[in-house]
Amino acid sequence: MSDNKSNTPRGNKPIKIRFNISWIYFILLIAIGWMFFNQGGANPQKEEWADVQKQWLAGDIKEVVFIRNEYEGRVTMRPERLEKYADKFAGKVPEKSPHFVFLVSGSFNAEEMFGELNAQLPEDRQVKVVIENHESWWSVLEWLIFPLLLILMWVFMFRGMNRNMGGGGPGGPGGIFNVGKSTGKLAEKGDTQVTFKDVAGLYGAKDEVMEIVDFLKNPKKYTALGGKIPKGALLVGPPGTGKTLLAKAVAGEANVPFFSISGSDFVEMFVGVGASRVRDLFRQAKEKAPCIVFIDEIDAVGRARSKNGGFSSNDERENTLNQLLTEMDGFGTNSGVIILAATNRADILDKALMRAGRFDRQIYVELPDLIGRKEIFEVHMRKLKLADDVDKEFLAKQTPGFSGADIANVCNEAALIAARRNKESIEKQDFLDAIDRIVGGLEKKNKVITDSEKKVIAFHEAGHATTSWLLEFAHPLVKVTIVPRGKALGAAWYLPNERQITTKEQMYHEMIATLGGRAAEQLIFGHISTGALSDLEKVTKQATAMIAYYGLDERIGNRSYYDSTGQQDYALTKPFSEKTAEIIDEQVSKLIESAYQEALRILGENIDGLTQLANKLIDKEVVFGDDLEMIFGKRPWVKEEIDFPKESQQTTDNGQQSESTEENLV
């Protein structure tokens, strides 16, 4: 016995062949195919009896089988004579017999007729004749077996679908073709190579998920004191901040199996598939415990259920959600299975899903700050060949508001740019060009722009630059260009201040700087253009947020009509009266008009500097912060030790604008 054990490789298990209902479908399909393709052997051609007689006398026929009770004759030709009749088979001579069939009347005397024909042939050319009767029951069976097979297959299909997709119990086979089985990807213990070393910049979130790792490694440490291990944690944050990466790092650090599935994978066109997949996923998780189940984009299946069942509801999605709620509640406290989920729409999730006992913790994964961005750059630069002039701190200052995914894209784009320029290493300028490419789009220097349009664009961008430079709370300008990028005809780069809170004066100054482009067009040319579409869109949203959301208007007062739950978007009525709506519209118009008049005043007082800056833009196409300092002098509100970067946040004009790097205003 010991010898046998020693010779058996460790971990090898005997192969068990289990019966699966899919085998029945496979067998039925083969049977139907055989019946379809093998009825009657070959596909014989019909012939008249007169033509068969000519073939008989020509010595071309080898055998004739005559079925007396069906008045049918089946003719097999001599192989060497088949080519003679190739035209009757559309050029393709059949390999199987019979080759021809003929029908006769009831008065046909087969023995006499066939005997007379054979008597006219030499002995070696005579035809073999077989006369027989077909049993009637076999003919009936032959006609019934095909529909019977179809009925059987239909019954088995619907039984499987009903059992395993509609009302099946847990752990079922998964329905026809296993459509009810979970599509989650399983990473076995040790397969996940991601650790906390690969996660940078997420300080608070990393600390919280590290506790989950400790729960999985040392559960007795907490249960000994009577505590319960959390069942689940919900990762909430903007796209690209590293929620999925955090979940993988937890699995890698804990060294446990890791199930990953998307919320949309539960939703299918068949009724009951979502619920069946939820059951199957949790069944597998219990078998692999301790383990982690990660559901990405859980808002696809966990959206809040409608109170009105007949309006904007999806029974299949709600059934899937109900099954998910049941399964998450069904876990014991010491099951060793922890549920992690990620979403960027936590406001629309069902309250039953968010309660303690299902998701005990909500971990907020925010955009990285300055130090976090530096660490993320260090992570993504490990495999890059960098030049000596690459400064991670400088690049971190250039990318306020960038997520981890954005920074990864910057590093990759910089490598592509350096390779395109045939460099042996990635230089600082390659990173700056990559930031420009990502934020503003590709330069289109060959785009045809008339001189008059170029002049309007130059003064528009100069208006933005002038007002932002002369206002205290506006973002300091870094670079202005009139080279078309993407869909934009011109662009201005700013270095936004990373604020945690924003005052009314700061928002007002930003509105003035945004309207500086249109104000410059009005002041210089006496008319305005469509190039300020993005500017108008931004200031309208900003003014509406100031009045209706942040309570920064005297007439509206300290009231906010912002709905943090996200349900206001689906409401048929507004949370304020028509009179209040008129006041909000009136105050928004006043605020925007006040900012516009202030922009006109500032540009009118500094029209010489505005003209000088615009002419320099027309001449050089690109103007930096140093050029503005030479024209307007140093900004009195900026500390002297601050070094102005060359590239950063961008706003564009002609209907397109990059996202704000400040807090979301709407």
**Catalytic residue annotation:** 461
Q: What angle do CA 302, 305, 310 make, to 5 degrees?
A: 140
CA dihedral 380, 385, 387, 391 (to 10 degrees): 10
Q: How far apart are CA 482 and CA 488, in angstroms?
A: 9
Picking from 60, 71, 66, 82, the residue whose alpha carbon sits closest to that of residue 127 is 60
Round to whole Å and give the CA distance between 360 and 229.
10
CA distance 80 to 60: 8
Query: Any bridge partners for residue 76, and if so which?
Result: 63
Instruction: Report the distance separating Cα 225 and Cα 78, nearest Å.
Output: 94
Q: At what angle do helices 504-525 and 578-605 cross, to 10 degrees?
A: 60
Q: Are the beta carbons of 459 and 614 closer than 8 angstroms?
A: yes
What's the first-to-final CA gap in the chain, in angstroms? 74
- Residue 63: beta bridge partners? 76, 128
Please state, in angstroms and rounded to a whole number, the distance separating the CA atoms of residues 141 and 39.
13
Crossing angle of helices 504-525/607-620, nearest 10°? 80
Contact by Cβ (8 Å): 456, 620: no
Question: Residue 244 and residue 343: Cα distance in Å, rounded?
Answer: 10
How far is it, in rounded angstroms, from Cα 67 to Cα 74? 8
Helices 136-161 & 22-37 angle (0-180, nearest 10): 150
| Core vs surface per residue 219-245: b (16+ CB within 10 A) or e | beebeeeeeebbbbbbbbbeebbbbbb
Query: Any idea which residue has 């001449």 for tokens?
Result: 619
Enumerate residues 6+ apart whose C-beta is below 8 A from 328: 231, 232, 339, 353, 358
What residues form DSSP beta bridges with 370?
A: none
Q: Which two tokens stand for residue 443?
A: 């330069």
3-state secondary structure of 52: helix
What is the C-alpha to C-alpha distance for residues 575 and 562, in angstroms, rounded to an integer? 9
* C-beta of residue 288 within 8 angstroms of C-beta of residue 257: yes
The per-residue DSSP string of 152-213 comes to HHHHHHHHHHIIIIISPPTT---SGGGTTS---EEE-TTT----GGG--S-HHHHHHHHHHH
Peptide bond into 238 cis (omega under 30): no
Residue 272, sorted as left (phi over 0), alpha (psi -120 to 50) or beta, turns out to be left
Of 300, 291, 310, 379, nearest in space to 342 by CA: 300
